[in-house]
Amino acid sequence: MKLHTREWGTGERVAVLIHGIMSDHRTWRRVAPVLADRGYRVIGVDLRGHGASGRGEYGADSWADDLVETVPDGPELAIGHSLGGMALALAVERLAPKRAVYCDPAWELPGHAVSAAAGFADFKHVTRTVIRGYNPRWEEADVDVELATIADWDAATALALADTYAVSRTPARPVVPSLVVLPGANSLVPPAMADELARRGFEVRRVPDAGHTLYRDDFEGFMTALDGWV
């Protein structure tokens, strides 16, 4: 499936931004302009079932295949957050970016977390107060974006998570030079796995004051964690 995209900048180098579940390209509202100012043509995708992209059968392979069909081969940089990090890992060999950045990637979820994730559908009716309560460090504009992206999201994507995480999605090795950026708390990647990723050849950095939504919790800290990679 060809995905809906939004572009920032006109540089010769291409950067691809891939959001997490319930979100879309709008979540990168602060990151994308900074990359554009650094000379990138930034392409933010809406994954299948999100934003203005099409609906259809949902699953790990579909999300990855759509990326390969949509974005140019060999981008300079690809950044994936959460579910987007999982899709990027499955597409990275074919997409062949020069560098890949995985932001608290959803490569594995324990069984109880998968069951809870199916309940994401309830977020279709979430209120501003609830979003603000979960995310006290967000700017108001990020709360606005979250409400808008949830309104445009197909909650049926959450029903595909049980099959998606029936097997491990954690890469055995970095196919391209790869950075894993993790929050200081509530990470999807437990400490033992973070150590294992470093042994496998990934560079691992943390944003100590951020939670799962790193670039919205602590934008400056997140951008600092990308030093040397963007």
Candidates 97, 71, 79, 84; CA nearest to 32 is 79
User: Which amino acid, residue 222?
Assistant: F
Q: How far, in Å, CA of 87 to CA of 128, rounded?
A: 29
Which of 104, 113, 64, 132 shows the shortest CA–CA distance to 188?
Answer: 104
Among the ranges given (23-32, 112-121, 140-149, 156-165), the one the predictor scored with the smallest mean pLDDT: 112-121
Q: What does DSSP say about strands 13-18 and 5-8: parallel, antiparallel, or unpaired?
A: unpaired
Q: Tokens 């997140």 map to which residue?
A: 222
Pairing of strands 77-81, 99-103: parallel
Least confident piece of the model among 33-42, 107-116, 144-153, 169-178:
107-116
Give buried/exposed letters for 186-215 (b at 16+ CB in 10 A, else e). ebbbeeebbeebeeeebebbbbeebbbbbb
Examine the pLDDT at 121 and tell me if it is beyond 80.
no
Give the pLDDT confidence score for residue 50 in this predicted structure.
98
List, in order of start, the domains of the chain with CATH numbers: 5-225 (3.40.50.1820)
Tens digit of each residue's pLDDT (9 = 90 or more) over 74-84: 999 999 999 99
CA angle 4, 81, 57 (to 5 degrees): 50
Average pLDDT, rounded, for the chain: 94
CA distance 149 to 4: 14
Largest CA distance in the chain: 44
Q: Which residues contact 149 (CB under 8 A, 6 or more apart)?
A: 22, 23, 24, 26, 27, 50, 51
Task: Determine the pLDDT at residue 111.
Answer: 61
Q: What is the pLDDT of residue 112?
A: 52
Q: Quick check: 114 pLDDT over 70?
A: no
Give the number of C-alpha atoms closer than 13 A to the C-alpha of residue 219, restricted to the C-beta side.
13
Task: Say what the alpha-carbon torsion angle 74, 85, 68, 111 is, to the nearest 10 degrees.
Answer: 150
